[in-house]
Chain A
Amino acid sequence: QVQLMQSEAEVRKPGASVKVSCKASEYAFTDFYMHWVRQAPGQGLEWMGWINTNTGGASYAQKFQGRVTMTRDTSISTAYLDLSSLRSDDTAVYFCARGLRGSYHLRADFWGQGTLVTVSS
């Protein structure tokens, strides 16, 4: 069964950075794009970007340009989300989600369990 296992919850101060991991199992990691989606407390879903797990190329939502970096380590089938210059409104649950085979379009059939990132002084 396909699984995406995310890292544990994090607490950061404003201005700091956070790195969230997403380890994939039971499928060919480099065949599928990985997306990151976040959800602020009590709010809806917000797409942040994708990474082509084969080439390492990435595309980010305009809102996060300059603050976000998505990377991957194919040797351990793990994708990473790095978010810098954190603000209080970055407090959210961050999800990784498997996209389509060979396409950047988002149709997320498997999701990680979510990682809560809390930004507080």
Chain B
Amino acid sequence: DIQMTQSPSSLSASVGDRVTITCRASQSISTYLIWYQQKPGKAPNLLIYGASSLQSGVPSRFSGSGSGTDFTLTISSLQPEDFAVYYCQHSYSSPPTFGQGTKVEIK
């Protein structure tokens, strides 16, 4: 199975900050990389697919980049509603696997 490793596991940031989360795959997955946001007690919400394509309805402050094994999710200006846990997931092969999550907290 392909292992997905996110860093950091958690971070503290202020409203308006630029935030970057990284995700590394244990082997090349081309651009078959997806990012989700999950708030407490809720289901995950799809943000980015194909490493850099913004899902419909997702604010443009979210962006994704990368290919091969290294990927990033960037929030250009953190908003109060962005405090959540973020997960990456590959869709390159079966089984799809998730990173362990990155918790974005208020500083």
Contact = CB atoms under 8 A, between A and B. Distances in A.
Q: Do A and B come from one complex?
A: yes
A107 B49 contact: yes
B100 A44 contact: yes
Nearest to B6: A44
A9 interface: no
Contacts of B91: 105-107
A105 B96 CA distance: 8
B101 interface: yes
B98 A108 contact: no
Interface stretch (A10-18, A69-77, A80-88, A110-118): A110-118
Interface of A: 44-47, 59, 61-62, 95, 97, 104-109, 111-114
B87 A104 contact: no
Given A47-B98, A106-B89, A107-B46, 19 more contacts: A44-B98, A44-B100, A45-B36, A45-B38, A45-B44, A45-B89, A59-B94, A61-B95, A97-B43, A97-B44, A104-B94, A106-B34, A106-B91, A107-B34, A107-B49, A107-B91, A108-B46, A111-B43, A111-B45
Contacts of A113: 43
A59 B95 CA distance: 9
A109 B87 contact: no
B87 A45 contact: yes
A44 B101 contact: yes
A54 to B, nearest CB: 18
B98 A45 contact: yes
